[in-house]
Amino acid sequence: RVIVIDFGAQYAQLIARRVREANVYSEIMPSTASVADILAKKPSAVVLSGGPSSVYAEGAPQVDPALFDAGVPVFGICYGFQAMAAALDGRVAQTGLSEFGRTPARVADPGALLAELPAEVNIWMSHGDAVTAAPAGFRTLASTVGAPVAAFENVERRLAGVQWHPEVVHSEHGQKVLENFLYGIAGCSGDWTAANIVEDSVAAIREQVGDKHVLCGLSGGVDSAVAAALVHRAVGDQLTCVFVDHGLLRKGEAEQVEKDFVAATGVRLIVKEVADQFLGHLAGVTDPETKRKIIGREFIRTFEDAAREVAEHEGVDFLVQGTLYPDVVESGVGEGAANIKSHHNVGGLPDDLQFTLIEPLRTLFKDEVRAVGEELGLPAAMVWRQPFPGPGLGIRIIGEVTRERLDLLREADAIAREELTRAGLDRDVWQFPVVLLADVRSVGVQGDGRTYGHPVVLRPVSSEDAMTADWSRLPYELLERISTRITNEVRDINRVVLDVTSKPPGTIEWE
Ligand code: XMP
Q: Per-residue pLDDT for the chain (511 aa), expressed as one digit of tens each?
A: 999 999 987 789 999 999 999 999 999 999 999 999 999 999 999 999 988 888 888 888 889 999 999 999 999 999 999 999 999 999 999 888 889 999 999 999 999 999 999 999 999 998 889 999 999 999 999 999 999 999 999 999 999 999 999 999 889 999 999 999 999 999 999 999 999 999 999 999 999 999 999 999 999 999 999 999 999 999 999 999 999 999 999 999 999 999 999 999 999 999 999 999 999 999 999 999 999 999 999 999 999 999 999 999 888 999 999 999 988 887 764 433 333 223 333 344 556 667 899 999 999 999 999 999 999 999 999 999 999 999 999 999 999 999 999 999 999 999 999 999 999 999 899 999 999 999 999 999 988 899 999 999 999 999 988 889 999 999 999 999 999 999 999 999 999 999 999 999 999 999 9
Q: End-to-end alpha-carbon separation of the chain, Å? A: 42
Please check whether residues 377 and 415 belong to one and the same domain: no
Q: Hey, how many other C-beta atoms are within 10 angstroms of the C-beta on 447?
A: 6
For residue 186, give the DSSP letter: S
What is the distance between the alpha carbons of residues 408 and 422, in angstroms, rounded to a whole number?
21
Please check whether residues 65 and 155 belong to one and the same domain: yes
Q: What's the number of domains the chain is made of?
A: 3
| Torsional sign, CA 336, 340, 343, 349 | positive
Please check whether residues 416 and 481 belong to one and the same domain: yes
What is the distance between the alpha carbons of residues 330 and 76, in angstroms, rounded to a whole number?
22
SS (H, E, C) 333-352: CCCCCCCCCCCCCCCCCCCC
| Torsional sign, CA 175, 178, 183, 184 | positive
> Is residue 506 exposed (0-12), middle (13-18) or buried (19+ Cβ within 10 Å)?
middle
For residue 135, give the DSSP letter: P
- The protein residue whose alpha carbon is closest to atom 18 in ligand 1 is 389
Assess whether the C-beta atom of 292 lies below 6 angstroms from ligand 1. Answer: yes
What is the distance between the alpha carbons of residues 219 and 389, in angstroms, rounded to a whole number?
10
- Per DSSP, the three-state class of 109 is coil
Please check whether residues 52 and 112 belong to one and the same domain: yes
pTM, two decimals, is 0.89
Assigned domain for 232 exists = yes
Please check whether residues 365 and 454 belong to one and the same domain: no
CATH code, domain with 47: 3.40.50.880
Ligand 1 atom at shortest distance from the alpha carbon of 469 = 5
Ligand 1 atom at shortest distance from the alpha carbon of 510 = 2
221 labelled as ligand-binding? Answer: yes
Last residue of a domain, one of 320, 349, 383: 383
For 101, the domain range is: 2-185
Please check whether residues 279 and 357 belong to one and the same domain: yes
Half-sphere exposure of 114 (CA within 13 A, CB side): 29
Distances (CA, A) of 29 to 6, 7, 69, 74, 329: 6, 9, 19, 14, 9
Assigned domain for 394 exists = no
Assess whether the C-beta atom of 389 lies below 6 angstroms from ligand 1. Answer: yes
Taking the centre of ligand 1 as the mean of its atom positions, its distance from the CA of residue 466, in whole angstroms, is 8
The enclosing H or E element of 188 equals: none
220 labelled as ligand-binding? Answer: yes
Instruction: Give this complex's ipTM.
Output: 0.98
> Is residue 330 exposed (0-12), middle (13-18) or buried (19+ Cβ within 10 Å)?
middle
| Ligand 1 mutation pick, 289, 327, 465, 509, max ligand atoms within 8 A of CB | 509
Taking the centre of ligand 1 as the mean of its atom positions, its distance from the CA of residue 509, in whole angstroms, is 7
Assess whether the C-beta atom of 301 lies below 6 angstroms from ligand 1. Answer: no
222 labelled as ligand-binding? Answer: yes
Please check whether residues 324 and 466 belong to one and the same domain: no
Evaluate whether 80 touches 51 at the Cβ level (below 8 Å): yes
Please check whether residues 173 and 198 belong to one and the same domain: no
Assigned domain for 115 exists = yes
Please check whether residues 114 and 147 belong to one and the same domain: yes
Last residue of a domain, one of 168, 185, 202: 185
191 labelled as ligand-binding? Answer: no
Ligand 1 atom at shortest distance from the alpha carbon of 433 = 22
Residues in the chain: 511
- The protein residue whose alpha carbon is closest to atom 10 in ligand 1 is 389
